[in-house]
Amino acid sequence: MPLLSGYSPATIGIVYCAATLIIMFTGIPIAFALGVVATIFMFLFMPRASVDTIAQNVYEELASVVILAIPLFILQGAAIGRSDAGRDLYSALHAWLHKIPGGLGVANTLACGIFAAMSGSSPATCSAIGSAGIPEMRKRGYSAGLASGIIAAGGTLGILIPPSVTMLLYAVAAEVSIGKLFLAGVGPGILLIVLFAGYASWRYSFDKRRARAASARGEVIDNASILQEHHYTLAQKFAMLGWVAPFIFIISGTMFVLYSGYATASETAAVGAVLALLVIAIMYGVWRPKRVMPILSGTMRESSMLLLIIGFSLLFSYVMSYLHISQSAAMWLMSLGLSKWALLTAILLFLVVLGFFLPPVSIILMTAPIILPPLREAGFDLIWFGAIMTIVMEMGLIHPPVGLNLFVIKSIAPDIPLSTVMWGTLPFVFLMAVGIVLICFFPEIAMFLPNLLS
């Protein structure tokens, strides 16, 4: 028999959430914090026999063919991220787009989008493209805030444009088709690329006009390099296309085997990982053991960390469900009598607040049992909502206080103050909010490709 009984699910739920926040703020890794809270509440409120099945429950949650795709996608991202692929991709795009106003910023945005589609990792995209892109943009007159904002925001596309580990986990939690969910991320991903690139072009043109006006008045300007022009010959442009072709090959290869029905998500992840390893071996000579081992060891570390979070998050959700916390919370949301769109707005604001403190994986697995039933009851398509929720998770990656991409940018550009990085990302947070509103008004942005597949 449990040690404690007679408490209402609402009371237990409040204590459960408070205990989780307190333990997380002690600095314990998220996976272990969730595991500790779940274990304590199993001991206090659930039959003693359930405590003996903790290891079995965690193992059963991870012993899934779908979950197997996660380390394979991480391997694909690690292979590309630890080579010079990002630098070469960025250089090729810059050569073709340099005549467009703010073409370098547009090139960085597109490079982030393409690299995100290959790696599925936001930090890897920031690091790979930003390590070359930020110095080049600053050398050509871009402000430190704009340069860091472009890369930080572009890096978030790694969890939206397929293949995406975050969307894969949402598909598991929401019990929806992985293939359709991946397709639902394509339209919003393109929308955000257009919004980011448009802002980068406008802001660069604005800064350039202001610099020209100051120069005409005889004033000394700090970013005089913004007035310089750069040129590439046609031969140089076509020579650089050779660096882009393999990336397109990887993206098209993995997407073809998934959506043609030839392979499952896990098999598709394996295809992508093998293609990525082949490309870096052929193009960059990354085939010797001393160069391959860092890729494999990095994949193991990141996969182990992520799988621990997944396992304990699902145990955490199982305890919530057993104690009727998630069901009671869902019923409470429905009892508020909110309209369909008011309910969606309240849930999205709740997710934004969680993004202040928690990574996307934990937010999805912890909140899915609570927010998805009311949304389904209200008539929302959970595949459509998955695309919107992923954009909200992207916002969490670049807004303070613990936006992961902010610290990635700070690590690759240590001379830029963290406050400058934060202010530089705020316009992109606003653009993501605009993107969410557009997808709400025009749901076909996300659902056109999934509906076409149906």
pLDDT for 128 equals 73
pLDDT for 219 equals 65
Q: What is the pTM of this model?
A: 0.78
Q: How far apart, in whole angstroms, are the C-alpha atoms of residue 106 and residue 415? A: 23
pLDDT for 2 equals 56
Other Cβ atoms within 10 Å of 252 Cβ, number: 10
Mean pLDDT of 324-349: 83
3 state DSSP class of 119? helix
pLDDT band at 401 (very low <50, low <70, confident <90, very high): low
pLDDT for 76 equals 79
pLDDT for 384 equals 96
Higher local confidence (pLDDT), 401 or 446: 446
pLDDT for 433 equals 94
| Residue boundaries of the structural domains of the chain | 64-453
Higher local confidence (pLDDT), 195 or 394: 195
Q: How far apart, in whole angstroms, are the C-alpha atoms of residue 417 and residue 405? A: 14
pLDDT for 390 equals 92
**Contact predicate 270/163, CB 8 Å:** no
pLDDT for 230 equals 63
Mean pLDDT of the chain: 81
Place of tokens 């660096």: 243
Place of tokens 């010797």: 288
CA dihedral 192, 344, 450, 129 (to 10 degrees): 30
Q: How far apart, in whole angstroms, are the C-alpha atoms of residue 17 and residue 29? A: 17
225: pLDDT strictly greater than 60? no
Backbone phi, psi, residue 446, to 5°: -95, -35
Percent of the chain with pLDDT over 90: 13
Mean pLDDT of 296-309: 83
H helices of 177-322, in order, are 178-184, 186-216, 234-259, 265-284, 289-322
Q: How far apart, in whole angstroms, are the C-alpha atoms of residue 392 and residue 55? A: 32
Q: How many residues does the chain have?
A: 454
339: pLDDT strictly greater than 90? no
Q: How far apart, in whole angstroms, are the C-alpha atoms of residue 187 and residue 271? A: 24
415: pLDDT strictly greater than 90? no
Which two three-digit tokens encode residue 286?
């990354």
* DSSP code, position 400: S
Backbone phi, psi, residue 6, to 5°: 90, 0
Mean pLDDT of 329-349: 84
pLDDT for 4 equals 55
Mean pLDDT of 121-130: 76
51: pLDDT strictly greater than 80? no
User: Best-predicted range by mean pLDDT among 112-116, 353-357, 433-437?
Assistant: 433-437
226: pLDDT strictly greater than 60? no
pLDDT band at 436 (very low <50, low <70, confident <90, very high): very high
Mean pLDDT of 35-50: 84
pLDDT for 391 equals 93
pLDDT band at 430 (very low <50, low <70, confident <90, very high): very high
Mean pLDDT of 408-422: 84
Mean pLDDT of 314-336: 80
Give, in order, the Cα–Cα distances in Å from 63 to each of 66, 67, 69, 334, 449.
9, 7, 12, 34, 31
**Contact predicate 164/182, CB 8 Å:** yes
Give the DSSP per-residue string, 249-275.
HHHHHHHHHHHTTSS-HHHHHHHHHHH
Q: pLDDT by residue (tens digit) across 358-368?
A: 778 778 877 88
Which two three-digit tokens encode residue 40?
């304590």
Report angle CA 254, 281, 162 to the nearest 5 degrees. Answer: 25
Backbone phi, psi, residue 180, to 5°: -65, -40
